[in-house]
A and B are shown apart, each in its own frame.
Chain A
Amino acid sequence: MAKTVTDVICPFCGTLCDDLEVQVSDDGTKILEVYNACAIGAEKFLHSQAKDRITRPRMQQEDGSYKEVSYDDAVEYTAQMLAKAKKPLMYGWSSTSCEAQSVGHELAEAVGGVVDNTATVCHGSSLIAIQDVGIPSCTLGEVKNRADLVVFWGCNPSHAHPRHLSRYSIFPRGFFTGKGHKGRKMIVVDPRNTDTMKMADVGLQLEQGRDYELLSALRVAFRGEDLPDVVAGIPKERIYEAAEMMKNARFGVIFFGMGVTQSLGKNHNIDIAIMVTKDLNEFTKFSIIAMRGHYNVTGSGAVLGWQFGFPFATDLSRGFARYNPGETTSNDLLRRDECDAVFVLGSDPGAHFPISSVKKIAHLPSVAVDPHITPTTEISKLHVPVAFVGVEVGGCCYRMDNVPIESRKVVEPPEGMMTDTDFLARVRDRVVELKAQAPVGTQSTAEAQGA
């Protein structure tokens, strides 16, 4: 016999599907099957069942081998490292719960760290654009119930957010969209002929790096002004056609991804995409939504926002929160040698940062907290495995449209494994102890200014 847990939240991508069903062994220790999830989501659940999973912290030795240590030792090492550091980088936070983020921020405040999340190499440019020009947006349910025109710009949900199209954007039948995908037009803009592009009513395969020009051309076209014959490799007739479709939509939405946020132009691409959306609200109703990657990167931005006022790259080292992308962002700090320790939780910079930054991490005192073995854990001095959030422990997560959903625990973690939150809380408490007994002169800048 097995029991089925329903309405399970998928802790993989920002789509945050909440309709999974997971079959669990009677004793609640094993996941037998995962229903309704995409291939990536199902794998996330099943991977927690791996036989060779690391279940205890391990310290890297001089010869590169690993030695298992206790959680107590791991807490002590991490607390000592952070308490001694003048300006530790505390990076990640996107694959964990808001509870853990919150405790992490208390810890960061105590040690005067810099808290940065994966937006720094992902949608950080979108956040900067929003700070420049705002953002007219909506929830994904609005798209499902009302949208008759959907634009995917620089994103490929067929692969990166596999259930987005079926749950929210293209296929579902909503209240005012009873015909489902037959009642929706789909425009895809991408330099590649992606699987999403292949489904489009209008596919605009533009020249790479020319997104700004094409978005600008749309703004010209909305106003009925003249365009050059070709913009960004697209003939002007097709641009006028797309512009008319957008103006004549009843409710339109633009989804955009890393194709525009991290290619030439960066935040400026998003600036103008938002202005395109704002323009369209002169004619009809239009929204724009970022296709956020990690399942709770949005939550990290939210918790940072209400606790410190900034969505990423938040420097607490001076006793108050500062934010200056380009200065307080992880890669800039690492490459300028500004941080003297690195703490990673809920992300894998080893796989995603430039190699020059990764080398810096490898040479610094470093701790990686992650259920998996990753490139980051391999270059960190200490790897602390923890329970999987959304599988072995619950917690609040924010979907790409900022909707918070409480993830569920479906199975027990392997015996004796700590959660993110527990580990962070113990390190925090230990740091507070260490700071209380620290001799004069070793206190962090944060403390000096706060006292």
Chain B
Amino acid sequence: MAEYLIKNGFVFDPVTGVKGDRKDVAIRDGKIVDSVSSSAKVYDASGKTVMAGAVEVHAHVAGPKVNEGRNYRPEDKLFGTRVKDSKDTRMTGGFSIPTTFKTGYSYAKMGYTVVMEAAMPPLYARHVHEEMRDTPIIDQGAFPVFGNNWFVLEYLKNNELENTAAYIAWLLRASKGYAVKVVNPGGTEAWAWGLNCLSVNDPVPYFDITPAQIVKGLIEANEYLGLPHSIHIHANNLGNPGNFQTTLDTFKLAEGYKANNKFGREQTMHHTHVQFHSYGGDNWGNFESKADAIMDYVNANPNLTIDTGNVTLDETTTMTADGPFEHHLTELNHLKWANVDVELETAAGIVPYVYSPDIKVCAIQWAIGLELALLAKDPMRCFITTDHPNAGPFTRYPRIMKWLMSKESRDERLNTFKHADKVISSTLLAGLDREISFYELAQMTRAGPAKALGLAGTYGGLAPGMDADVVVYDINPEGPFTGDDIERAFTDASYVIKTGVPVVQDGRVISNGNKRTLWVDAKVNENAQVMRDVEEKFLKYYSVSLKNYEVQGHHYIPNPYAIEVDATSEV
């Protein structure tokens, strides 16, 4: 019986409503409990901050495009290579696209214990799972992409909701996926012919369906199944001046739907990396922030959650299933372009990018990301991400926290941009005085994302019965502290326990932990038509056979954590 007692820290936990009280956190056999025996191992957290393990809702950390990024950017290893923490840890390397071992260790050191891989091409699911297996400590799940999938396009064109749902359930099982991801709905299929869909009403070539129909259909199917997470969308028209209108159009598609699930999730749409979707103006010259218009809508509509996609002002590697966008980007910055179109399913592109503080647009993007979080009225519905590695590497989270929690720190950055005047006049940031509190931070990085993912009963909180993911940060929330103290404390946690096992102490990894792979096992009525369609498509159009498609076995998922959903109904 393994018992731990984290004593006397300042505890912040939105699940139990604790706001910085000095409390003990007790752990027995991997779970949070009310109390432990006197033989428990005690960690003295006096003067320090205690939170649940953080939950990453959206990052590209495993799979074919991440790995192509690693392999085609040897230069990225110049920035992030470190010697080993101990003889029991593996070699690490890379900055914006770290190796799997570095990914696991870096997240754990920051106190993250759950990380969702944001885009899994189903045909490459084995690759995603092999990488997640080699990412130590953190629990992970992956979102298969559905928004350009031929089955989905065909079923939704014919308004076949049950078939769409049955296919989603089948593909979640085949790919061992966690949620329904939608990237540039319809636009990525159009990209297979070198085209795109830039609004929710642009028809998809050949399939003759609009992005709006795809999104609405997938919301309906998602709620029909009662999946733990809502659809997780990256809307059309990412990255372009004036795109906030497309984003609002996309948000509105979720109006009128009600969340149907047993996991306590309330939203019917999660929109990711909203920073990239909140642009005004109609060219790069009059490019400006529309974070206010976006957040007015988000604040008024509780059926929506978002994550920010904060620009960190680093050299990074962009990668997305939004194939046409990456082509657009390489035309813009002329850096090396990788692309993969995936039969019947999706595509992906990769382009390195330098977010320079000397470039006006980059600085405005930086401001927009912060504005979104600072304008959020409900921190339980707005989560901090960098859309790693697209707006910056996840290892910069502590710096974003600094900017969000210290007005002084972000003003110092804002006022020293090369084009500070233009940036200030195109954004709202200078006028925002809010400083995110420790409690709000715990909402934005723990309880909020866990609830949106349908994992509120397990992760993101310190209530008895929940998984014992507990982090101690070396910072006294009663102060005094500077912005840099915040960044330092959240970079290297003093102590991290993951499912009851100490994994980090004083910023060093001490154990490879007990990593699990989350996936959703949705049961639906037998559906002969969908199975016939699946067989036909594999016979005629896929380049692998149906029997060689499903991801199975210990090599890929040595420690599965299947979440069961029953969507069968009486016939």
* In the complex, chain B residues whose CB is within 8 Å of the CB of A173: 540
Question: Which one of A98, A134, A309, A396 lies within 8 Å of B70 (CB-CB)?
Answer: A309
Question: Which one of B73, B193, B541 lies within 8 Å of A144 (CB-CB)?
Answer: B541
Kindly provide the distance from the CB of A57 to the nearest chain B CB, expressed in whole angstroms. Answer: 26
Question: B536-562: which residues lie under 8 A (CB-CB) from chain A?
Answer: 540-545, 547-548, 552-553, 555-556
Q: Which of A6, A109, A281, A316 has the most CB of B within 10 A?
A: A281
Does any Cβ of B come within 8 Å of A375's Cβ? Answer: no
Stretch at the interface among B48-56, B217-225, B342-350, B412-420: B342-350
Does any Cβ of B come within 8 Å of A39's Cβ? Answer: no
* In the complex, chain B residues whose CB is within 8 Å of the CB of A305: 67-68, 70-71
25 A-B pairs in the complex with CB atoms less than 8 angstroms apart: A130-B338, A134-B350, A137-B341, A138-B347, A142-B192, A142-B342, A142-B343, A144-B541, A145-B541, A174-B541, A251-B192, A303-B130, A305-B67, A305-B71, A307-B90, A309-B71, A309-B99, A310-B70, A319-B84, A320-B82, A396-B556, A403-B123, A403-B544, A404-B130, A406-B548
Proximity string of chain B (122-161) to chain A, C-beta cutoff 8 Å, 1 when within and 0 when not: 0110110011001000000000000000100000000000
Does any Cβ of A come within 8 Å of B112's Cβ? Answer: no
In the assembly, what is the distance between CA of A308 and CA of B342, in Å?
26
Given pairs A134-B350, A307-B101, 19 additional interface contacts (CB within 8 A): A19-B545, A99-B555, A132-B336, A134-B330, A138-B343, A141-B544, A144-B541, A168-B543, A175-B540, A176-B206, A307-B90, A307-B134, A309-B71, A309-B93, A320-B92, A321-B77, A323-B77, A402-B68, A403-B124
Query: Assuming the A-B contacts A7-B548, A99-B555, A141-B343, are A310 and B336 also in contact, with contact meaning beta carbons closer than 8 angstroms in the complex?
Result: no
Q: Across the interface, do B67 and A136 meet the contact criterion of CB distance under 8 Å? A: no
Stretch at the interface among A67-75, A181-189, A191-199, A443-451: A443-451
Q: Across the interface, do B338 and A136 meet the contact criterion of CB distance under 8 Å? A: yes
* In the complex, chain B residues whose CB is within 8 Å of the CB of A60: none
Q: How large is the interface on B (under 10, 10 to 19, 20 to 34, 35 or more residues)?
A: 35 or more
Task: Considering the complex, give the chain A residue whose CB is closest to the CB of B352.
Answer: A134
* In the complex, chain B residues whose CB is within 8 Å of the CB of A405: 126, 544, 548
Question: Which one of A18, A134, A168, A402 lies within 8 Å of B336 (CB-CB)?
Answer: A134
Kindly provide the distance from the CB of B204 to the nearest chain A CB, expressed in whole angstroms. Answer: 14
In the assembly, what is the distance between CA of A133 and CA of B334, in Å?
10
* In the complex, chain B residues whose CB is within 8 Å of the CB of A9: 548
Kindly provide the distance from the CB of A333 to the nearest chain B CB, expressed in whole angstroms. Answer: 18
Q: Across the interface, do B544 and A18 meet the contact criterion of CB distance under 8 Å? A: yes
Closest 6 pairs (CB-CB, A-B):
A141-B343, A134-B336, A141-B543, A138-B341, A404-B126, A7-B547
Does any Cβ of A come within 8 Å of B426's Cβ? Answer: no
Kindly provide the distance from the CB of A203 to the nearest chain B CB, expressed in whole angstroms. Answer: 26
In the assembly, what is the distance between CA of A99 and CA of B340, in Å?
25
* In the complex, chain A residues whose CB is within 8 Å of the CB of B8: none
Does any Cβ of A come within 8 Å of B262's Cβ? Answer: no
Question: A276-303: which residues lie under 8 A (CB-CB) from chain B?
Answer: 278, 281, 284-285, 287, 301-303
Does any Cβ of B come within 8 Å of A428's Cβ? Answer: no
* In the complex, chain A residues whose CB is within 8 Å of the CB of B340: 137-139, 401-402
* In the complex, chain B residues whose CB is within 8 Å of the CB of A323: 74, 77
In the assembly, what is the distance between CA of A136 and CA of B330, in Å?
11
Q: Across the interface, do A403 and B555 meet the contact criterion of CB distance under 8 Å? A: no
Question: A243-282: which residues lie under 8 A (CB-CB) from chain B?
Answer: 250-251, 278, 281
Q: Across the interface, do A319 and B94 meet the contact criterion of CB distance under 8 Å? A: no
Does any Cβ of B come within 8 Å of A356's Cβ? Answer: no
* In the complex, chain B residues whose CB is within 8 Å of the CB of A142: 192, 341-343
Proximity string of chain A (373-386) to chain B, C-beta cutoff 8 Å, 1 when within and 0 when not: 00000000000000
Question: Which one of B94, B100, B130, B338 lies within 8 Å of A135 (CB-CB)?
Answer: B338
Q: Across the interface, do A450 and B84 meet the contact criterion of CB distance under 8 Å? A: yes
Task: Considering the complex, give the chain B residue whose CB is closest to the CB of A131.
Answer: B72
Does any Cβ of A come within 8 Å of B245's Cβ? Answer: no
* In the complex, chain B residues whose CB is within 8 Å of the CB of A134: 72, 330, 335-339, 350-351
Chain B residues in the interface with A (C-beta under 8 A): 62, 64, 66-68, 70-74, 76-77, 81-84, 87, 90-94, 97-101, 123-124, 126-127, 130-131, 134, 150, 192-194, 206, 327, 330, 335-344, 347, 350-351, 540-545, 547-548, 552-553, 555-556
* In the complex, chain A residues whose CB is within 8 Å of the CB of B98: 309
Q: How large is the interface on A (under 10, 10 to 19, 20 to 34, 35 or more residues)?
A: 35 or more
Task: Considering the complex, give the chain A residue whose CB is closest to the CB of B150.
Answer: A175
Q: Across the interface, do A309 and B74 meet the contact criterion of CB distance under 8 Å? A: yes
* In the complex, chain B residues whose CB is within 8 Å of the CB of A311: 71
Does any Cβ of B come within 8 Å of A339's Cβ? Answer: no
* In the complex, chain A residues whose CB is within 8 Å of the CB of B90: 109, 307
Q: Across the interface, do B341 and A287 meet the contact criterion of CB distance under 8 Å? A: yes
Question: A190-242: which residues lie under 8 A (CB-CB) from chain B?
Answer: none
Kindly provide the distance from the CB of A248 to the nearest chain B CB, expressed in whole angstroms. Answer: 13
Query: Assuming the A-B contacts A134-B72, A145-B343, A281-B327, are A307 and B543 also in contact, with contact meaning beta carbons closer than 8 angstroms in the complex?
Result: no
* In the complex, chain A residues whose CB is within 8 Å of the CB of B71: 127, 130-131, 301-302, 305, 309-311
* In the complex, chain A residues whose CB is within 8 Å of the CB of B339: 134-138, 287
In the assembly, what is the distance between CA of A65 and CA of B347, in Å?
55
* In the complex, chain B residues whose CB is within 8 Å of the CB of A30: none
Q: Across the interface, do B555 and A306 meet the contact criterion of CB distance under 8 Å? A: no
In the assembly, what is the distance between CA of A41 and CA of B543, in Å?
18
Kindly provide the distance from the CB of A104 to the nearest chain B CB, expressed in whole angstroms. Answer: 14
Kindly provide the distance from the CB of B246 to the nearest chain A CB, expressed in whole angstroms. Answer: 24
Task: Considering the complex, give the chain A residue whose CB is closest to the CB of B544.
Answer: A18
In the assembly, what is the distance between CA of A109 and CA of B90, in Å?
8
In the assembly, what is the distance between CA of A250 and CA of B556, in Å?
38
Q: Across the interface, do A402 and B91 meet the contact criterion of CB distance under 8 Å? A: no
* In the complex, chain B residues whose CB is within 8 Å of the CB of A404: 124, 126-127, 130
Task: Considering the complex, give the chain B residue whose CB is closest to the CB of A312.
Answer: B71
Q: Across the interface, do A450 and B83 meet the contact criterion of CB distance under 8 Å? A: yes
In the assembly, what is the distance between CA of A174 and CA of B540, in Å?
7
Task: Considering the complex, give the chain B residue whose CB is closest to the CB of A451.
Answer: B87
Question: A1-36: which residues lie under 8 A (CB-CB) from chain B?
Answer: 6-7, 9, 18-19
Does any Cβ of B come within 8 Å of A167's Cβ? Answer: yes
* In the complex, chain B residues whose CB is within 8 Å of the CB of A451: 87
* In the complex, chain B residues whose CB is within 8 Å of the CB of A155: none
